Structure 1
Amino acid sequence: MRSSITLKLFLAILATCIVVALAMGMAVRYSFDSGFDDYIRERENQRLDSLALTLAADYVETGGWGFLAGRGDRWERSLRLSRYARPGDRDRRGAPPGPPPRVTLVDAEGGWLAGPRVRPGAERIRHPVTVDGRSVGWLLSPPPRLMAVNDEIDQRFQSRQLRATWVIVGLSVLLAALVSLLLARLLLVPVRRLAQATRRLADGDFDIRVRVGAPDELGRLARDFNRLAHSLARNARLRRELMADMSHELRTPLAILRGEIEALQDGLRAPDEAALASLAHEIGRLHRLVDDLRELSLADAGALDYRMRPLDLSALVERALDAVQDRYARAGLALERDIEPGLRLSGDERRLEQLLANLLENSLRYTDSPGRVRLRAGRRDGRIVLEVADTAPSVAPDQLPRLFDRLYRVEFSRSRLHGGSGLGLAICRSIVQAHGGEISAMPSDLGGLAIRVEWPLADDRGADAADGFTAMDEE
């Protein structure tokens, strides 16, 4: 099997299961051995207690150990009466086949009385034979582990249990291998789907999506992959639209310039002031388009130069309105202002002037005459809010989020006929975001479009004046 994550996961799960199975087998074996020794010890103690009581009774009856002297049958009789011999050791008449070879009787001083003789230093368990509270003798028995070795029935039982334990361990390992293989394949199904989808995504198939399964790490990874594919598809579409729009934007002034120059070369048009003014206008249009594109490319690269410092936004807005007042009047538009004094903001004055100029230029270009354009600036909910609203025409709600895309312009009412490169609002968004603010588009209560910009306050003084802008909204 080739090296793969499936094999690695299979081996990891299998190795874990084998270790667990072996550990359980050893634990069961140790528990059985310990319990079996305790069982033998407890059984031997019960037999020794019974034998000690029988011998104590004979000792009292005869006044000593003399009844055992030279009479092996009395030792056998005591064994039978005490039930020391196990039921399996008895014949059909109930008598043991012979004296058990493992228990020895010695007197209080350790002198041998009956049973097999014990060599000096041999390990034995001592069990007292008590008469009137004193030990008159001792029963010596091998420890449980030696009794189990010398007992054929116990050996067979131990052997069967040992075989059963390792058979169970072996079957557990086989089952673990099967389960590990199934788990490895099952767990890696979504990973394989993601790998295949990633290869297709790398090949340019941005429409590929993967199924989101359980809400775990793999499910979150699948959702992130789908978002990435959606973003790449959107960027590819925007790139195609950008190239198409750019070619159109550049073609129009270039075509005009070419026509004008050819007319001058062919003598169809005199090189007078009007012709030169037309050429200068188209050249200026190209220059603005190139400048706007450069601004956006620098913004994308994070290379735009911003020199932040505290400034008076109210005064900055007033100057921007004064600069376009005459142009609005010539276009038949009434310019209204509602500016709260003392609005402080930390920002780049030159970039903010560019922001205001783009917003006012957008309303000037796309508002029908006669009409109204209203600019309001004030504090609300701990933020500085600036809003430029105009009269008809408006923008469809589904097109509002795209107004800040590059070269995007609403067709029909706010179309290319009004001029402009379609980059002004994209530049506005870049400037606002660089100042930590937010910009959004919404329908205007005047019947047209409203562009709203919000910034955090430069200090805490704006929270107390929050009601001022809210009151203006209610007017």
Structure 2
Amino acid sequence: MKLGITTKAFLAVLLVALAVLLAMGVAGRWSFTRGFVGYMDELALQRVEDVTPKFVSAYAREGSWDFLRNNRRAWFHLTRPRGGEEDPEREKADRASRNLPLDAPPESDLTGAVFRLSLIDAEQRFVMGNPRIVAGDSVVRRPVVVEGRTVGWLLMGPFQSVSDTGARRFYDEQLHATLLVGGVAALFAVAISLWIARTLVAPIKQVAAATHRLAAGDYAERVVPSSGDEVSQLARDFNSLARALEANERMRRDFMADVSHELRTPLSVLRGELEAMEDGVRRLDGEALQSLKGEVMTLTRLVNDLNELALADLGALVYRKTPVAVGEVLAHTVGAFRDRLAGAGLGLELALAPGLRMAADEARLEQLFRNLMENTLRYTDPGGSLKIVSRRDGDDLCIDFMDSAPGVPDTLLPRLFERFFRGEASRNRATGGSGLGLAICRSIVEAHDGTITARASPLGGVWVALRFPALEP
């Protein structure tokens, strides 16, 4: 049976809590046994040391232990805490030696020492005390020495030996209290574990379910972050991923629609021309062949552009970069377009700074400039103009293409470099190209570690700004 993440988290937290409770119980029991009971035994041993001189004094006075046999009064008088001396003078001297006031009450005995003590004579015969306290490993022996002769032994049993009834009752009460507290703590641990498991795992399960729906193609799926922790960060990252996938899916669909449209138009023209020739409606002459050739060239350019963009996406385009004089490449490219610009009624203004150099693939750089020139020829109204400026700005080399009206709305300027995007509303191929030229420009610029941006031109059209790392002249 596979356990869910909620069950695993619940069991993990619960087991940790129970382990802590068990450890605390064991530690408390050990502390009571080794600490409290040991402390009581130490106090009792100190009490033995205190009463031993009283037994020495009593034996020296009486000459034997006969006065003590079966004499409970005398036994308790000798074994009780300090403060009960028979000799008032000796009691006063003892109190003075211990800095106790003369009217201080007798010391109490909470260790049970008087019930744990017994006396045997020199022949190991029982005299008085607790008859169950006999010699053994757990019994402490202290000799009673009178004038250099051992006349008896004081035996002190362990604390447990006299704690049967009271201690057992105390132990049972402690055990019951411990079990009660442990049970309440265990229930509390269960409740906390369940709450933690649900609180922590619920957002994760929500993200997991959303991921499953996203993988099934529901790119509109979103997760609402519930807090500011790592799980909420995961939810925000998921939402970012979902938005990116949704945008990519939309771009993919738009791309397929645009490609099919761009291919269908010249193919339809070719088919119509061929059917007209087949039916005898149109003659197969030079004009017809020129028309067919034009459509084939349109298809060729579109396929080449798509292939170039595909290679750029894969990183398979080869760039052989060498130091290039940018002014010379610009002048050569513009020179090839002068007649076409003049034919379109467009003026040209060049302002090229001398000595500008950059590391570039000269053929790709010329392709970049040609695409920008084609964009101006295609979209600029007759009677307008094109201004090209190159300059040095710090460590960067800047090239600006600024043309005249018509312009592009500011909201559409960032989209000019998207594939198949055209600034004008019409898709008429008489004015619009494939919509891939500026996308190819962006690919070339990025391959040269540069940037390309579009903004409103001071001449009324579009200002395409290029920026590349410059080489020293």
TM-score range, shorter chain: 0.7 to 0.9
RMSD (Å), alpha carbons? 3.3
Contact in 2 for aligned 1:68/1:74 (Cα 8 Å) = no
C-alpha deviations, 1:16-42, integer Å up to 9, x for none?
222122111111211222232134225
> Cα–Cα, structure 1 residues 413 and 386, in superposed 2: closer, same or farther, change >3 Å?
farther
Compare the two structures and name the one with the higher helix fraction: 1
222-231 vs 115-124, greater mean Cα deviation: 115-124
> Cα–Cα, structure 1 residues 71 and 290, in superposed 2: closer, same or farther, change >3 Å?
closer
Is the counterpart of residue 184 in structure 1 residue 193 in structure 2?
Answer: no
Contact in 2 for aligned 1:332/1:371 (Cα 8 Å) = yes
- Who is 1:409 aligned against? 422
| CA distance in 2: counterparts of 1:366 and 1:10, whole angstroms | 66
From 110, 117, 130, give the equivalent of 1:103. Answer: 117
> Cα–Cα, structure 1 residues 119 and 254, in superposed 2: closer, same or farther, change >3 Å?
closer
- Who is 1:143 aligned against? 158
> Cα–Cα, structure 1 residues 71 and 104, in superposed 2: closer, same or farther, change >3 Å?
closer
| Matching of residues 457-468 of structure 1 within 5 Å | 457-458=470-471, 461=472
State the one-letter code of the partner of 1:310.
P
Once the 2 structures are TM-superposed, how far is the Cα of residue 437 of structure 1 from its aligned partner?
2.0
> Cα–Cα, structure 1 residues 207 and 123, in superposed 2: closer, same or farther, change >3 Å?
closer
- Who is 1:342 aligned against? 355
Once the 2 structures are TM-superposed, how far is the Cα of residue 415 of structure 1 from its aligned partner?
6.6
| CA distance in 2: counterparts of 1:248 and 1:356, whole angstroms | 27
Once the 2 structures are TM-superposed, how far is the Cα of residue 426 of structure 1 from its aligned partner?
1.0
Contact in 1 for aligned 2:69/2:127 (Cα 8 Å) = no
- Who is 1:470 aligned against? none
- Who is 2:41 aligned against? 41
State the one-letter code of the partner of 1:203.
A
> Cα–Cα, structure 1 residues 112 and 382, in superposed 2: closer, same or farther, change >3 Å?
farther
Consecutive unaligned residues of structure 2, counting only runs of 5 or more, are 83-112
Is the counterpart of residue 123 in structure 1 residue 138 in structure 2?
Answer: yes
State the one-letter code of the partner of 2:66.
A
| CA distance in 2: counterparts of 1:213 and 1:49, whole angstroms | 70
Once the 2 structures are TM-superposed, how far is the Cα of residue 339 of structure 1 from its aligned partner?
2.4
Contact in 1 for aligned 2:145/2:151 (Cα 8 Å) = yes
Once the 2 structures are TM-superposed, how far is the Cα of residue 358 of structure 1 from its aligned partner?
0.8
C-alpha deviations, 1:92-145, integer Å up to 9, x for none?
xxxxxxx9663134689999865467755543335687999x99976431234x
From 63, 68, 76, give the equivalent of 2:65. Answer: 68
C-alpha deviations, 1:303-359, integer Å up to 9, x for none?
222223333333222222222122212212222222233333223222222111111
Once the 2 structures are TM-superposed, how far is the Cα of residue 424 of structure 1 from its aligned partner?
0.5
> Cα–Cα, structure 1 residues 281 and 131, in superposed 2: closer, same or farther, change >3 Å?
farther
Q: Number of aligned pairs?
A: 441
C-alpha deviations, 1:235-257, integer Å up to 9, x for none?
22222222222232223222332
C-alpha deviations, 1:388-418, integer Å up to 9, x for none?
1111111111111211111111234897541
Is the counterpart of residue 216 in structure 1 residue 229 in structure 2?
Answer: yes
- Who is 1:427 aligned against? 440
| CA distance in 2: counterparts of 1:332 and 1:47, whole angstroms | 123
Once the 2 structures are TM-superposed, how far is the Cα of residue 449 of structure 1 from its aligned partner?
0.8
| CA distance in 2: counterparts of 1:20 and 1:12, whole angstroms | 12
C-alpha deviations, 1:56-84, integer Å up to 9, x for none?
6646xxx4452633442556424246536
> Cα–Cα, structure 1 residues 65 and 292, in superposed 2: closer, same or farther, change >3 Å?
farther
Contact in 2 for aligned 1:14/1:180 (Cα 8 Å) = yes
> Cα–Cα, structure 1 residues 71 and 19, in superposed 2: closer, same or farther, change >3 Å?
closer
| CA distance in 1: counterparts of 2:213 and 2:219, whole angstroms | 8
| CA distance in 1: counterparts of 2:423 and 2:240, whole angstroms | 27
Consecutive unaligned residues of structure 1, counting only runs of 5 or more, are 86-98, 463-475
Is the counterpart of residue 238 in structure 1 residue 247 in structure 2?
Answer: no
- Who is 1:18 aligned against? 18
From 80, 83, 86, give the equivalent of 1:83. Answer: 80
| CA distance in 2: counterparts of 1:246 and 1:205, whole angstroms | 25
- Who is 1:27 aligned against? 27
3-state DSSP class of the match of 1:72? Answer: coil
- Who is 2:406 aligned against? 393
Q: Give the TM-score taking structure 1 as reference length.
A: 0.82
From 429, 444, 448, give the equivalent of 2:457. Answer: 444
From 285, 299, 305, give the equivalent of 1:286. Answer: 299
Once the 2 structures are TM-superposed, how far is the Cα of residue 266 of structure 1 from its aligned partner?
4.0
Contact in 2 for aligned 1:29/1:162 (Cα 8 Å) = no
> Cα–Cα, structure 1 residues 352 and 119, in superposed 2: closer, same or farther, change >3 Å?
same
State the one-letter code of the partner of 2:65.
L
| CA distance in 2: counterparts of 1:231 and 1:131, whole angstroms | 101
Contact in 1 for aligned 2:75/2:129 (Cα 8 Å) = no
From 194, 215, 221, give the equivalent of 1:202. Answer: 215
Once the 2 structures are TM-superposed, how far is the Cα of residue 8 of structure 1 from its aligned partner?
1.7
| CA distance in 2: counterparts of 1:120 and 1:141, whole angstroms | 9
| CA distance in 1: counterparts of 2:371 and 2:327, whole angstroms | 17
> Cα–Cα, structure 1 residues 40 and 264, in superposed 2: closer, same or farther, change >3 Å?
same
| CA distance in 2: counterparts of 1:123 and 1:242, whole angstroms | 93
| CA distance in 2: counterparts of 1:379 and 1:365, whole angstroms | 29
Is the counterpart of residue 252 in structure 1 residue 265 in structure 2?
Answer: yes
3-state DSSP class of the match of 1:328? Answer: helix
State the one-letter code of the partner of 1:319.
H
> Cα–Cα, structure 1 residues 401 and 130, in superposed 2: closer, same or farther, change >3 Å?
farther
| CA distance in 2: counterparts of 1:123 and 1:32, whole angstroms | 18
| CA distance in 2: counterparts of 1:103 and 1:423, whole angstroms | 107
> Cα–Cα, structure 1 residues 257 and 152, in superposed 2: closer, same or farther, change >3 Å?
same
- Who is 1:91 aligned against? none
3-state DSSP class of the match of 2:388? Answer: strand
3-state DSSP class of the match of 1:354? Answer: helix
| CA distance in 1: counterparts of 2:172 and 2:150, whole angstroms | 39
